[in-house]
Structure 1
Amino acid sequence: MGFSVSAAFAILFTATLLSIGMLYVTTENVYEHVKEATSDYNNALLKAKTSFLEADLYNYSTIPGISLYNITFNVTNKGTTLSPKEWSFIYNGSLVTATGVVDIENKPYLLPGEVILVTVQNVPKDTLVHSLIINTETGCSLKIKWEWVGNTTVGSPKLLISAWYCSVEG
């Protein structure tokens, strides 16, 4: 008693149909994931290309007899909506991880045209050029450079440059 040819053919035919069906579903899922990833990438690229921050004004505060000062920058959003909670800061070449170095105004979103205050605290009154890089969630950054003009008792900070740059290009 053997297995008939027609039964073997029916099993092979059913297995082939199931395989083709699974292949179709898998291919469709891969296509949808690639399409969704492409859409996410295009949205992120568009946000990066339409984001822009600018440091317009600044002010400072110091206590007489102390060789430290705080400098506050007014950073204006001249592009798309950004999320300051997702920003990171590099002060004088070091990533800021401790509180009390850079203080940012508490805003969940920075809408186009809005201003946010960013304060660098306890900056020494020396002749070195200081820098602050504000890295946004778009991959773009605002770099601010300034120096103290004067001595430790009399003087004021002077803004040297403020530049926006994006390493994300597509």
Structure 2
Amino acid sequence: MGFSTSGATAILFVGVLVAVGIAYPVVQTAHEERTRAMDDRDDRALEMRNTAIDLETASYDGSELTVNATNTGSSTLTVPATDLLVDGAFVADGEWTGTVVNGTTGRELWQPGETLSITVTTDDRPDRLKLVTEYGIAETTTEVS
């Protein structure tokens, strides 16, 4: 074996080491990101399984609509992440006249077993209401008294 063969082998070996040295951190980071994403997905799925609401009453008095719902699951929900649809139209959190959680105004956490009351000013009597939690769990009613 001559020097040219040994030299070429050494150059190829160094090239392989450099390539592996560059590729390994990239592969390691990609694996960590994938693992983190799978853990986040599993956490969201668990929260979805532990979330349940009961849309108890919806009443309209000619100018204001009041919706009462109870958190019947075991997940703590946030009021700003809860969405309300009135006759298929999204009513943003900023358009709500007020919210009350278990008799206390201004609370943002909606604990299991507590009742959330949302008040919205509207001119028309709604036919259909839908309340959606931050985890996508929804409850719909067509009974507005």
Distance 1:58 1:90, change over 3 A: closer
Q: Tell me the residue number matched to 1:32.
A: 32
TM-score by length of 1: 0.67
1:14 is aligned to 2:14: yes
SS in 1 for 2:8: helix
Distance 1:23 1:10, change over 3 A: same
CA distance in 1, matches of 2:42, 2:93: 34
Deviations 1:51-106 (A, max 9, x none): 0111234555x4xxxxx232323211111111121122211111224854664343
TM-score by length of 2: 0.76
CA distance in 2, matches of 1:54, 1:100: 22
CA distance in 2, matches of 1:100, 1:14: 65
Distance 1:141 1:36, change over 3 A: same
Aligned CA-pair RMSD: 2.6
Aligned partner letter, 2:81: E
* Structure 2 residue runs without a partner (length 5+): 101-105
* Structure 1 residue runs without a partner (length 5+): 63-67, 148-156, 158-170
Distance 1:75 1:44, change over 3 A: same
Q: Tell me the residue number matched to 1:137.
A: 134
Aligned partner letter, 2:118: V
SS in 2 for 1:107: coil
Q: Tell me the residue number matched to 1:72.
A: 66
Aligned partner letter, 2:68: N
Distance 1:85 1:97, change over 3 A: closer
CA distance in 1, matches of 2:94, 2:26: 49
Conserved 8 A contact 1:89-1:102: no
CA distance in 2, matches of 1:134, 1:57: 12
User: Is the strand fraction higher in 1 or 2?
Assistant: 1
Distance 1:101 1:86, change over 3 A: closer
User: Is the helix fraction higher in 1 or 2?
Assistant: 2
Matches within 5 A, 1:96-111: 96-97=91-92, 99-100=94-95, 103-105=98-100, 106-111=106-111
